[in-house]
Amino acid sequence: MRAADTNVVASFLLGDDPAQSARANAFFRRENVWIALTVILETEWVLRGVYKFKPQDVTAAFTGLAGMDNVSIENPSALALALDLCGNGLDFADALHVAVANHCDGFDTFDTALAKAAVSAGIDSVTLL
């Protein structure tokens, strides 16, 4: 199994650079690929911040990536919950923070927008500190 960096994942998803995208596609065809949640988080920033992907397009890209037979995501249940929360209005990074802390009794924040979005998404474990 080989781990992929953000630039490899982004190139695979975007096809933005012909030479790099061809190498990324070949890598994803021939290898069993492991992707860390930190790479997912950074890739989301690239897709949204640089390429102006809408949240539903990010969700579709990550759902497709995670559904590949040869791809393993670190903590796939946290990613699934984060994608669900993102679809319900949370910022992806905030959604991922909440999702990986799902085993805790609660998630405390000073971020009013995060707390409001969590309540709207049906998450009652996020509270303002």
Q: What is the pLDDT of residues 90-116, one digit of tens each?
A: 999 999 999 999 999 999 999 999 999
Would you identify the CATH topology of the domain 1-74? Rossmann fold (3.40.50)
**0.75 cut: is pTM over it?**
yes
Q: pLDDT tens digits, residue range 52-93?
A: 999 999 999 999 999 999 999 999 999 999 999 998 889 999
What confidence score (pLDDT) does residue 25 get?
A: 97
**In the chain, what are the domain boundaries?**
1-74, 75-129
- Cα–Cα distance measured from residue 76 to residue 15, given in angstroms and rounded to the nearest whole number: 24
